[in-house]
């Protein structure tokens, strides 16, 4: 009888352990499903909001085909900047040195936007014209805002020639 009682206790313990194991596995599976759903929704949201940077050559040769929203960069061609009489409609050409793309834009341009300088345009490509929604002007690392040239001490924006040695 004692052996039977011991056997029953072991069986009961095994059933309880099996139920606990099943519960843990169920929670683990449910957690994996929830994580997979979260990852799926994050990827879907990012895919709709990604903006890829292309050169004008890539846009013209079709590398960017199928993209709804593009960002293109290049140099503003000299003599291509034209403003309408109302001053809001602007057209210019962007070039990467190989291919030129005509860009149209409505709005005010950044202060640093000039012919012969770098620019980045966000918008869409219809196969003939790039319809820009945003224009960004590029500048080099030596950029100084207007009016700040005289405010900085001489040589303040230059790199130091050499660091003094700490060893004596």
pLDDT of residue 154: 55
Beta bridge mates, 121: 72, 135
pLDDT of residue 141: 65
pLDDT of residue 75: 92
Q: Give the predicted TM-score (pTM) of the model.
A: 0.59
pLDDT of residue 92: 95
Say if 86 falls within a structural domain.
Answer: yes
Same domain, 108 and 91: yes
- Between CA 69 and CA 132 the distance in angstroms is 10
Same domain, 31 and 93: no
Say if 4 falls within a structural domain.
Answer: no
- Helix or strand (DSSP H, E) at 1: none
Same domain, 43 and 59: no
Q: Would you tell me how many other CB atoms lie within 10 Å of the CB of residue 103?
A: 24
Say if 61 falls within a structural domain.
Answer: yes
Same domain, 109 and 37: no
- Choose among 69, 50, 49, 45: nearest CA to 59: 69
pLDDT of residue 158: 54
Residues contacting 11, CB < 8 A, separation 6+: none
pLDDT of residue 66: 73
Residues of the chain with pLDDT under 50: none
Same domain, 92 and 57: yes
Instruction: Provide the number of structural domains found in the chain.
Output: 2
Same domain, 117 and 57: yes
Say if 157 falls within a structural domain.
Answer: no
Annotation-wise, does 143 bind a ligand? yes
Helix ranges, the chain (H): 2-49, 56-60
Same domain, 42 and 56: no
Q: In a 3-state reduction of DSSP, which class is residue 88?
A: coil
Q: In terms of residue numbers, what domain contains 80?
A: 52-137
Same domain, 43 and 69: no
Instruction: Give the pair of three-digit tokens for residue 114.
Output: 């000039």
Residue 63 belongs to domain with CATH number: 2.40.50.140
pLDDT of residue 45: 82
């Amino acid at each position: 009888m004692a052996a039977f009682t011991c056997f029953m206790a072991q069986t009961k313990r095994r059933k309880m352990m099996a139920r606990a194991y099943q519960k843990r596995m169920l929670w683990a599976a449910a957690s994996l499903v929830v994580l997979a759903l979260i990852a799926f929704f994050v990827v879907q949201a990012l895919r709709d909001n990604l903006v890829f940077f292309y050169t004008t050559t890539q846009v013209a040769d079709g590398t960017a085909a199928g993209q709804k929203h593009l960002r293109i960069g290049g140099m503003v061609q000299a003599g291509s900047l034209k403003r309408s009489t109302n001053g809001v409609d602007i057209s210019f050409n962007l070039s990467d040195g190989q291919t030129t793309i005509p860009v149209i834009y409505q709005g005010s341009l950044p202060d640093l936007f000039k012919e012969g300088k770098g620019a980045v345009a966000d918008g869409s490509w219809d196969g003939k014209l790039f319809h820009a929604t945003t224009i960004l002007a590029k500048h080099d690392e030596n950029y100084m805002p207007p009016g700040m040239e005289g405010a900085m001490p001489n040589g303040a924006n230059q790199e130091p020639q050499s660091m003094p040695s700490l060893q004596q």
